[in-house]
A and B are shown apart, each in its own frame.
Chain A
Amino acid sequence: AQTVTQSQPEMSVQEAETVTLSCTYDTSESDYYLFWYKQPPSRQMILVIRQEAYKQQNATENRFSVNFQKAAKSFSLKISDSQLGDAAMYFCAYRRSQAGANNLFFGTGTRLTVIP
């Protein structure tokens, strides 16, 4: 079974600084997808960024970028120029690419605090 591990229960960052959230996963599959979701105090799950395992290039979405290390099974999220609105729980998630079950496997989350 796929497992996703987020070893940092809490992180903090000064406003305008950069922070990196860690995620590792375990799988025997070669093709899959990885995601970072953000859950602010409203509890809404918001997609931040997506990475296809077959792509070597790291995904980037504005201030958010990932460092995808397939051999190490590592998928970290870097937030640049942190803003107060970035304060939230961040969940790393894995999804198979094969037909059939396409559910997400989530890590336990990292709570990010942004200090003004």
Chain B
Amino acid sequence: DSGVTQTPKHLITATGQRVTLRCSPRSGDLSVYWYQQSLDQGLQFLIQYYNGEERAKGNILERFSAQQFPDLHSELNLSSLELGDSALYFCASSGREVGGPTDTQYFGPGTRLTVL
């Protein structure tokens, strides 16, 4: 158990809908990262938050957004869903923003999203 929790574990929805994925980082971790794992794109970085502020953006679509709340949990919002958005969405957390030996990312169990 990494200490990172994600809900829900599975989500099935229809095209055009909107969903929210939730992540709680390990106790004490300030950084949260979202990754998407799909069959055709592999593991891709979406977005990073540090202590409530956005720090970096990767290949995140405009239909997707995220935020980190004062209690440090994070939510990833996916809207106008398409079939191609079906994937495993991981949240990871780390203790420090600046790289260092302790700045290792630990992953949650993921949320499997299926868009029908």
Contacts and interface: CB of A to CB of B under 8 A. Distances in A.
A103 B42 contact: no
A102 B103 CA distance: 9
B25 interface: no
A95 B107 contact: no
Nearest to B44: A106
B58 A103 contact: yes
Given A33-B99, A106-B42, A43 B105 contact: no
B94 interface: yes
Contacts of A46: 2, 107
Nearest to B90: A45
B107 A101 contact: no
A96 B45 CA distance: 14
Interface string A87-101: 000010001111111
A102 B94 contact: yes
Interface string B86-107: 0010101010011111011111
Interface string B39-82: 00011110010000001101000000000000000000000000
Contact of A43 (B56, B104, B109): B109
B99 A44 contact: no
B31 interface: yes
A15 interface: no
Contacts of A43: 88, 109-110, 112
A102 B104 CA distance: 10
Contacts of A47: 104-106
Given A97-B99, A102-B99, A106-B43, A45 B48 contact: no
17 contacts: A37-B107, A44-B107, A44-B109, A44-B110, A45-B92, A47-B106, A91-B43, A95-B105, A97-B99, A98-B98, A101-B56, A102-B48, A102-B94, A103-B33, A104-B33, A106-B44, A109-B42
